[in-house]
């Protein structure tokens, strides 16, 4: 065991720190606890992002907060961000980011620039060089040791607690000069789905619908139940492909990984790929007309029946 | 424009994965193998680019032991023009794969490299981004829409909050998400024709890339199993259980 110097890449939108980042900070904390000594720095890359710097500057975990504030970083394009990370990487033993579309898009590019392999979607940190990560849609776990001098890791947010940013010690702020413009990539548009419900990944309750809902209109039953329980809505791939909901609500191996206190799966058969995204939920409820559906094998409470009869009663009762 | 598509042979996504009793890996003998689903989508997109007159040639490449030629033949049967097999018995990690693909992309002078966003076995989601980094070219990952306009591509990406559209200059690397297209099936005549299409075999070790992995899988474990739960008979009973037993609702 030796010293570790960890850099956490902060996901933000020039205004606020993304919730997934707070879990990444916890993973960084665990990492230095497993080594003799270590420090954690964070890197903010954006444009006019002083509000983000403000919210991180009392985080007790951090020694330094590196800030790259430049117009070319405004849109968070990985081609630019990777060059910024590349400039500071030689000071660190580990670079961490959340395993969401931000981290997944950015970190492999960083790893290639630095000529090292990386570790994706890590669920546990066992030592400075050994991690646990799911493979085969979560049907197996691999304990992997990296022999690279620099470890580049994306962290599964549901596997770590969220760190509080309300510390007491002021963080040393270091401003980076980075006139970087990776030419050839331009953001044309970005549409965020605004639904007013809790964020799917961090929600305490998730109500998910599948093909069994039959139509986009019927999906309002899921929405109504979610609203009564203060939960988020999720969906199976079948429901997304059928156009019932937008793709950012897909739960599964290739969508979002969630682990809420309560997951209610309605009209979802429970394919391997869907289970990969929700089987670490604390309590799973399955409502399905098919008593042989695979979802019942992981459900704590199962109810066999017609969802169009069950859902209105459930909405009424909660 | 020449399009290079990288494909991977993996365990069928619907097969049950069995972990070896010694914890060294998962059982791959006598298990159904197939083309990684995301790679199929990449092949389909390349063929559509050819059909729409945007691509002049579609070259497919796969890295691995000789059986991965079956997946290359499948891609040829779907409409790819030519295949390259980079033969090695070594399991190549993503950066090694990206380095090998860079050599081929440059040899072939491909304007567009299409890959799946992740393979469903190792679930890394790395190779496309690494390849773009090595080639110092634009990347557009998790693509659900791809449009070629001369020297530029317009790519709609699936991101956590919704969608975003990037304009990227070619050459570029694009990785496919599930909603990019619906892959076609190969017809029997096309499967027969695919047997005549060129398939070059190159020793991966001859390309000047070190294949030795820098990561070691120490152990493969089974995830903890969930206890089978109880079936309830009514909504009232369900609510009662959630309130008083699991205490997850008020």
CATH number, domain with residue A210: 3.40.50.1220
Q: How far apart are CA A304 and CA A300, in angstroms?
A: 13
Contact pairs from chain A to chain B, CB under 8 Å: 254
Residue A253 annotated as binding site:
yes
Sheet strand arrangement including A118-122: A118-122, A151-155, A94-98, A4-10, A38-46, A62-69, A172-175
Residue A242 annotated as binding site:
no
Instruction: Return the CATH number at A109.
Output: 3.40.50.620
Q: Is residue B248 part of a domain?
A: no
ipTM above 0.85, yes or no: yes
Residues A171 and A209 in one domain: no
The residue of chain A with its CA nearest to that of B27 is A140
Q: How far apart are CA B170 and CA B1, in angstroms?
A: 10
Pick from A2, A23, A215: nearest CA to A100: A23
Question: Are the C-beta atoms of residues A300 and A286 closer than 8 Å to each other?
Answer: no
The residue segments making up the domain with residue B161 are 2-221
Residue B233 buriedness (CB in 10 A; 0-12 / 13-18 / 19+): exposed
Q: How far apart are CA A173 and CA B159, in angstroms?
A: 30
Mutate to test the interface with A, among B13, B164, B165 (most CBs of A within 10 A): B164
Which chain A residues contact residue B128 at CB under 8 A? 108
Which chain A residues contact residue B176 at CB under 8 A? none
B238 vs A136, A240, A303: nearest CB: A303
Question: Are the C-beta atoms of residues B148 and B49 closer than 8 Å to each other?
Answer: yes
Residue A289 annotated as binding site:
no
CB contact (8 A) between residue A109 and residue B132: yes
Q: What is the pLDDT along chain A (318 residues), one digit of tens a residue?
A: 468 999 999 999 999 999 999 999 999 999 999 887 799 999 999 999 999 999 999 899 999 999 999 999 999 999 999 999 999 999 999 999 999 999 999 999 999 999 999 999 999 999 999 999 999 999 999 999 999 999 999 999 999 999 999 888 889 999 998 878 778 999 999 988 777 899 899 899 999 999 999 999 999 999 999 999 999 999 999 999 999 999 999 999 999 999 999 999 999 999 999 999 999 999 999 999 999 999 999 999 999 999 999 999 999 998
Residue A277 annotated as binding site:
no
Q: Is residue A190 part of a domain?
A: no
pTM for this prediction: 0.95
The residue of chain A with its CA nearest to that of B236 is A317
A100 vs B129, B144, B160: nearest CB: B160
Residues A152 and A19 in one domain: yes
Q: Is residue B204 part of a domain?
A: yes
The residue segments making up the domain with residue A284 are 205-317
Residues A14 and A73 in one domain: yes
| Largest Cα span, chain A | 62
């Amino acid at each position: 065991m030796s010293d570790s110097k960890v850099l956490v890449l902060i996901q933000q939108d020039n205004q606020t720190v993304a919730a997934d980042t707070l879990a990444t900070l916890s993973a960084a904390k665990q990492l230095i606890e497993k080594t003799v000594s270590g420090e954690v720095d964070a890197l903010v890359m954006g444009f006019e992002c002083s509000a983000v710097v403000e919210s991180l500057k009392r985080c007790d975990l951090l020694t330094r907060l590196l800030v790259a504030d430049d117009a070319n970083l405004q849109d968070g394009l990985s081609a630019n961000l990777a060059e910024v990370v590349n400039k500071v990487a030689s000071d660190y033993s580990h670079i961490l980011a959340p395993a969401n579309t931000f981290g997944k898009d950015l970190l492999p590019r960083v790893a290639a620039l630095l000529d090292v392999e990386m570790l994706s979607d890590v669920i546990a940190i066992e030592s400075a060089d050994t991690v646990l990560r799911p493979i085969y849609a979560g049907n197996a776990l691999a304990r992997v040791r990296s022999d690279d001098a620099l470890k580049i890791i994306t962290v599964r947010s549901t596997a770590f607690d969220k760190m509080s940013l309300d510390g007491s010690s002021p963080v040393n702020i270091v401003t980076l000069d980075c006139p970087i413009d990776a030419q050839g990539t331009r953001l044309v548009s970005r549409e965020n789905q605004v639904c007013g419900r809790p964020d799917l990944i961090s929600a305490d309750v998730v109500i998910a619908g599948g093909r069994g809902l039959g139509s986009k209109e019927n999906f309002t039953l899921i929405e109504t139940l979610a609203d009564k329980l203060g939960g988020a809505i999720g969906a199976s791939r079948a429901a997304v492909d059928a156009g019932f909901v937008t793709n950012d609500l897909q739960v599964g191996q290739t969508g979002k990984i969630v682990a809420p206190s309560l997951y209610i799966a309605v009209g979802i058969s429970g394919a391997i790929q869907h289970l990969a995204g929700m089987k670490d939920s604390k309590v799973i409820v399955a409502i399905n007309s098919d008593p042989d559906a695979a979802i019942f094998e992981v459900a704590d409470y199962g109810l066999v029946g017609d969802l169009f009869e069950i859902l209105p009663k459930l909405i009424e009762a909660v | 424009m020449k399009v290079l598509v990288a494909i991977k042979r993996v365990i069928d996504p619907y097969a049950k994965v069995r972990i070896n009793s010694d914890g060294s890996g998962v059982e791959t003998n006598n298990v159904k193998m197939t083309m990684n689903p995301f790679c199929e989508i990449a092949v389909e997109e390349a063929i559509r680019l050819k059909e729409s007159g945007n691509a002049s040639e579609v070259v497919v490449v796969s890295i691995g032991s000789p059986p991965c030629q079956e997946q290359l033949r499948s891609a040829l049967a779907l409409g790819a023009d030519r295949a390259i097999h980079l033969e090695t018995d070594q399991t190549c990690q993503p950066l090694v794969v990206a380095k090998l693909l860079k050599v081929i992309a440059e040899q072939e002078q491909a304007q567009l490299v299409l890959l799946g966003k992740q393979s469903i076995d190792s679930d890394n989601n790395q190779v496309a981004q690494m390849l773009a980094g090595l080639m110092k070219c634009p990347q557009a990952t998790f693509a659900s829409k791809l449009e070629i306009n001369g020297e530029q591509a317009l790519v709609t990406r699936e991101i956590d909050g919704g969608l975003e559209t990037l304009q990227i200059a070619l050459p570029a690397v694009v990785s496919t998400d599930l909603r990019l297209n619906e892959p076609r099936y190969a017809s029997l005549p096309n499967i027969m024709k695919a047997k005549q299409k060129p398939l070059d075999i190159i020793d991966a070790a001859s390309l000047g890339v070190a294949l030795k992995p820098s990561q070691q899988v120490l152990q493969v474990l089974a995830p903890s199993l969930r206890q089978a739960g109880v079936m309830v008979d009514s909504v009232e009973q369900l609510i009662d259980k959630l309130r008083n037993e699991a205490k997850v609702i008020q």
